[in-house]
Structure formats: structure tokens, C-alpha cells
Amino acid sequence: MPGMRVADPQTLLRTGLSPEDLALAIAVGFVLGCLPLWGISSMLCLGVAATLRLNLIATQTANWLALPLQILLLFPFLRFGEWMLRSHASTHAFALHSFTYSSYAHIFSEVGILLVHALAGWTLLALPAALILRILLTALFRRLQSSLMH
């Protein structure tokens, strides 16, 4: 079909993909796309989509659309992870003198601690976010599917 967009929800629903499956694929892709580790979310989405037999196009599209949120949520995930782990490493790691007079090993150690905090924050919020997103998207896609049939 000329002009057809591959990742269009209407197109995916017309091909026989259920609203529930489409919602799960998008929720998984979006939540993995917010992972505070750059460069691995696409591979994770590929693996999860293959394992759960999700629509890869929907999963990867949601993953890519989440990129701005991945950047914006880095510091909230970091702060939430610090709060969970009862640590305040970012205060020290972001001090200019901490990087200026430190060895590479110290800098990588500090950045590693920051990543652990950000991952801890993301990990605790990822499953509830995916479930809420799936519920909302399922309702939306059911409405969209019923409007396509009329």
C-alpha cells in the first residue's frame, strides 16, 4: 500500500495483531527505551520481543520514541536509586574537583556507582510503569479497533 506507515497502530491492528499484544509490545519497548544505559535498549528489545513473541516493529518503534524520556529521566532515576539505596554518591561525583584531581579508576568507579543508582531507580519503577502503560494502551487500542470495524 503506498504511503502506509509500518508502525501505525491502525495498520498493525488491521493485520490481525490484537490490542492486548500491541499494547504489550509498545509498553515493553517504551519501558526498555527508558533504561538509563545508552546503547543497549535496542538489543534488549530485540531479545525480549523474540522471547515473548512480540511484534518487533511496535517494540522497536516505542523504544526509539522513548529516547527523549531516557535522557530526561536519567537524573530522576539516579536520585530515586540513591534514595532507595540510602546513598548520596551523585553529590560527590558531579563535583568538578572530584573529576579534575582524580585518577581514571576513581572516575570510572564514581560513574559506575551513579549507574547502579540509576538502574536501581529504573528497576523499581519499570514493571509498574509497563503494567499501567499496557492497561491504558489496551483500552485505547480496543477502541481504535472497534472504530475500524464500523
Q: Which three cell numbers stand for residue 122?
A: 529504573
Q: Please provide the average confidence, as pLDDT, over all residues in the chain.
A: 83
pLDDT of residue 4: 46
pLDDT tens digit string along 40-87? 999 999 999 999 999 999 999 999 999 999 999 988 988 888 888 887
At 91-112, the pLDDT tens digits run 555 554 555 556 777 667 777 7
Is the pLDDT score of 34 beyond 50?
Answer: yes
* C-alpha–C-alpha distance, residues 48 and 54, integer Å: 8
pLDDT given at position 144: 87
